[in-house]
Structure 1
Amino acid sequence: MKRLQLQRWSSSVLAPRARTVNRLHQHIYGQRYQSTVSPVQARDDQTAAIFEDSTTQDEQLAQIVKDSHTRRSHLQYPSPPVEAAQQSAKLAALHARLYLPSRLPVQTLARALVDQTADPNPNFNNASLATLGHDLLSYYATEHLICTYPRLPLTVIFAAMYAYAGPKTLAAMAREWGVEMATLPGGEVDPGLLQFRRVEPGSEVETGSSRSARPYEHNKLWRKTVTSKVFYDDEFGDPLKGPGMSAGGVTTEQASAEFVRAVMGAIYLHAGRAAAKRFFEQHFLSRHLNISELFNFRAPARDLTRLCARESFERPVAKVISETGRHSRHPVFVVGIFSGQDKLGEGAGASLIEARERAAVAALKGWYLYSPLNVRVPSSMEEPSALPWKPVHVDLGEVIV
């Protein structure tokens, strides 16, 4: 009796599952698969309606077949299709995390995540957006530094530019934003992942030493001066890279930097200048940078003497202000640099020479780090309620030795 009940239960439960598998084979392989299982005798009308009405099951099977074809079609693309951006949770989370303008669509943000090494088509990679973003970052960072510190030496400006908008800083920002990277680029990956083709192990990576040919560089008398950096190098003072030097891929740092630049360019195109400048102030100028640590003087006393001669000041003189423990193991001397009655700088050291050098460095930093009270940049004139423009004071810069 128990065996008879078990057979009835197995036939009533397993038969619908077998019928579903048969229909799946028929839809996928296009074969008329005839079931050998006897029809189920339903006990009531409700159960019979569930098993006999196969319209819902056919729709589900058709959807499964459609999804499988869609996944296979995505494999032929080097990057995710445009319509996949609206279904990516990672992309929506990144858009909200960065507090991007609502006018910036997620499709453009997805394009900013595709490097040109992953998809060579310029209509689907971030090359054009990164070029625009690179120019905007250089412009905003340069005007901020020159207008805020008009006396900075050019070498210090190059170092500050690299600290604000250099590739290492941009790569660190991409990590802070929570951007994840795809192992291999392709059409089937999530559009919210950074996609690029990694450089092969052992291949040469482009660095600052990979430069383009400069005029007269073959001459032995050629010297890399500050003027040559202005005319022939990039905004960071590094030599420009020549064409055709790519190793077939990029590093993680380079791909992350291109993504951040592309986001800046996308904001400018979709939301306008005000939104792009606000994004720069919130994500770049908000990072603390101690400008005074970027100086590196080789002969500060000589540079201070030349600076005073250029500005028609009296010749600087070092005077001992105070001292303690001259005949002990740890003496301390405090020396001040005076130009007439004005004290230019002060420094302390274990010897008179060390204290004089530190006082000269303090005097030079006090001159170069001058900043006006009301700082205005040229881009502020783009605002509708901008006041009339007043010329910004820009000093001659460092002393050319």
Structure 2
Amino acid sequence: MKRLQLQRWSGSVLSAQARTGGRLQQRLYTAIRHQSTASPAAPAGHDQLIREQPQAPSIRPSRPSQSRYNLPSPPVEAARESAKLASLHARLYLPSRLPLETLARSLVDASADPDPNFNNESLATLGHDLLTQYTSEYLVCTYPRLPLTVVFAAMYAYVGPKTLAAMAKEWGVESVAAPGGEVDPGYLQFRRLPPGAEVNPELITGTERPHEEETHWRKSVTSRVVYDNEYGDPVKAGVPPSELPEREAKNNNLGVSHEQASSTFVHALMGAVYLHAGRPAAKRFFEQHFLSRHLNISDLFNFSSPARDLARLCARENFDAPVARIISETGRKSRSPVFVVGIYSGADKLGEGAGASLLEARFRACVASLKGWYLYSPLNVRVPSSMEEEGAAPWKPVHVDLGEVII
């Protein structure tokens, strides 16, 4: 038998390896990395084999001396190799101009990677402002007579942290147990808050309201607009600037909750869409994923004295004083009577309600009358941000109401 000529065959293997740029070495390095993460104790030979590999180019320009194992979050180059990231991009129908690298960055919380060049803190700040602007202008222009307490509740229902966390879960976003450079970039990266720990308990010293220690002062609705956040909740005040470095160094490893990390990711994704695809794509993303969620605003009202509120409202609008009249009744002397009461202002019926007693029917009729007034919505509603579109029609001022009845 003739001997096989292995010299030419081995040379072709070496030349193919050279043409692929060391792809075999990269696959070997990846396989060793997965084995080391799968077992708690890797053989000592693996570390020696890794050290013998040729030094690869730096994964992150800002930290060239660190290996992929020591990185706090996945490297930028790993975004193109993640199937979970590509499926999330397609599942949310994101614009093609939004790269996978930015989508991967929006999944990295500041608690996992403190470097502002690789976490989503800056994107989340922009996305938070966009979501609050679009939601507030939609509510104010669509329902110009809503009380401010109902506006705060509707804002929380649309873009509150609990709603955003539920949306991230519906989108199929999964979180990791612990962040690291070897983790798939399609997971939500954040440092978990220890069980039973409070969210930065030492960084909270009160609120930004003046004279917060005066408990007998009345907190009006106007003060909630001036001092509180977009949900009507008090804004937490930070520590004094002189004590801030020591407090931050002591509390930088506390972590965040899953709800906070998920809401930050949604904010960052909104900001990323706006930066890469522009305002029309961000507005379309907001309408498809936020305004499409049904919210029954009539369930957000809570009246304690609807008869008094309705009387003051009629007096302010120069209407006739409201009068309750029985429209129909049945079974007055039975065990289950039903009364239907209507509220009339002159010859106009403002609302009606049914109940097991006259007082209950009158109460519900007054509530229905107030809801009919506050839930007024004009036709062909336009928001101020629609003027940024190309070829927009001339602006027509929206309806501005006097506001709710302040008692």
TM-score range, shorter chain: 0.7 to 0.9
Classify 1:210/1:273 alpha carbon distance in 2 versus 1 (closer, same or farther; 3 Å). Answer: farther
Aligned residue number for residue 13 of structure 2? 56
Confirm or deny: 8 A CA contact 1:210 1:239 kept in the other structure. Answer: no
Aligned residue number for residue 146 of structure 1? 140
Q: Compute the displacement of 1:211 (Å).
A: 4.5
Whole-Å separation in 2 of the counterparts to 1:65 and 1:342: 82
Whole-Å separation in 2 of the counterparts to 1:211 and 1:54: 73
User: Percent same amino acid at aligned positions?
Assistant: 69
Confirm or deny: 8 A CA contact 1:314 1:340 kept in the other structure. Answer: yes
Confirm or deny: 8 A CA contact 1:337 1:344 kept in the other structure. Answer: yes
Aligned residue number for residue 224 of structure 1? 219
One-letter identity of the residue aligned with 1:396: L
Classify 1:52/1:278 alpha carbon distance in 2 versus 1 (closer, same or farther; 3 Å). Answer: closer
Q: Which runs of 5+ in 2 are unaligned?
A: 18-22, 33-49, 51-55, 60-65, 240-246
Confirm or deny: 8 A CA contact 1:317 1:339 kept in the other structure. Answer: yes
1:184 aligns with 2:178: yes
1:320 aligns with 2:326: yes
- Which of 379, 390, 393 is 2:399 aligned to? 393
Rg larger in 1 or in 2?
Answer: 1
Aligned residue number for residue 77 of structure 1? 71
Output one character per residue of 1:121-166: Cα deviation in whole Å (capped at 9) or x when no partner: 1110000000000000000000000000000000000000001000
Classify 1:299/1:155 alpha carbon distance in 2 versus 1 (closer, same or farther; 3 Å). Answer: same
SS in 2 for 1:53: helix
Confirm or deny: 8 A CA contact 1:146 1:394 kept in the other structure. Answer: no
Whole-Å separation in 2 of the counterparts to 1:63 and 1:44: 36
Classify 1:148/1:53 alpha carbon distance in 2 versus 1 (closer, same or farther; 3 Å). Answer: same
Q: Compute the displacement of 1:351 (Å).
A: 0.4
Q: What aligned pairs does 1:228-247 form with structure 2 within 5 A after superposition?
A: 228-243=223-238
Aligned residue number for residue 166 of structure 1? 160
Whole-Å separation in 2 of the counterparts to 1:280 and 1:63: 41
Question: What TM-score does the superposition give when structure 1 sets the normalisation length?
Answer: 0.84
Q: Compute the displacement of 1:395 (Å).
A: 1.1
SS in 2 for 1:334: strand
Give the aligned CA root-mean-square deviation in angstroms. 2.3
Q: Compute the displacement of 1:52 (Å).
A: 7.6
Aligned residue number for residue 338 of structure 1? 344
1:360 aligns with 2:317: no
Question: What is the aligned length?
Answer: 357
Whole-Å separation in 2 of the counterparts to 1:298 and 1:133: 37
Whole-Å separation in 2 of the counterparts to 1:369 and 1:356: 20
Classify 1:99/1:220 alpha carbon distance in 2 versus 1 (closer, same or farther; 3 Å). Answer: closer
Q: Compute the displacement of 1:217 (Å).
A: 1.7
- Greater CA deviation, 67-76 or 123-132? 67-76
Whole-Å separation in 1 of the counterparts to 2:121 and 2:301: 35
- Which of 285, 296, 303 is 1:297 aligned to? 303
- Which of 191, 194, 200 is 1:200 aligned to? 194
1:103 aligns with 2:60: no
Question: What TM-score does the superposition give when structure 2 sets the normalisation length?
Answer: 0.83
Classify 1:299/1:213 alpha carbon distance in 2 versus 1 (closer, same or farther; 3 Å). Answer: same
Whole-Å separation in 2 of the counterparts to 1:371 and 1:384: 26
Confirm or deny: 8 A CA contact 2:208 2:227 kept in the other structure. Answer: no
1:135 aligns with 2:129: yes
- Greater CA deviation, 243-252 or 272-281? 243-252
Aligned residue number for residue 175 of structure 1? 169
Aligned residue number for residue 33 of structure 1? none
Output one character per residue of 1:37-82: Cα deviation in whole Å (capped at 9) or x when no partner: xxxxxx5445x53998376389587445654547992011111111
- Which of 243, 260, 263 is 2:266 aligned to? 260
- Which of 82, 86, 106 is 1:88 aligned to? 82
Whole-Å separation in 2 of the counterparts to 1:345 and 1:210: 48
Aligned residue number for residue 278 of structure 2? 272
Output one character per residue of 1:285-329: Cα deviation in whole Å (capped at 9) or x when no partner: 000000100000001111000110111111000001111111111
Classify 1:289/1:63 alpha carbon distance in 2 versus 1 (closer, same or farther; 3 Å). Answer: closer
Q: Compute the displacement of 1:242 (Å).
A: 2.6
Q: Compute the displacement of 1:271 (Å).
A: 0.7
Classify 1:327/1:210 alpha carbon distance in 2 versus 1 (closer, same or farther; 3 Å). Answer: farther
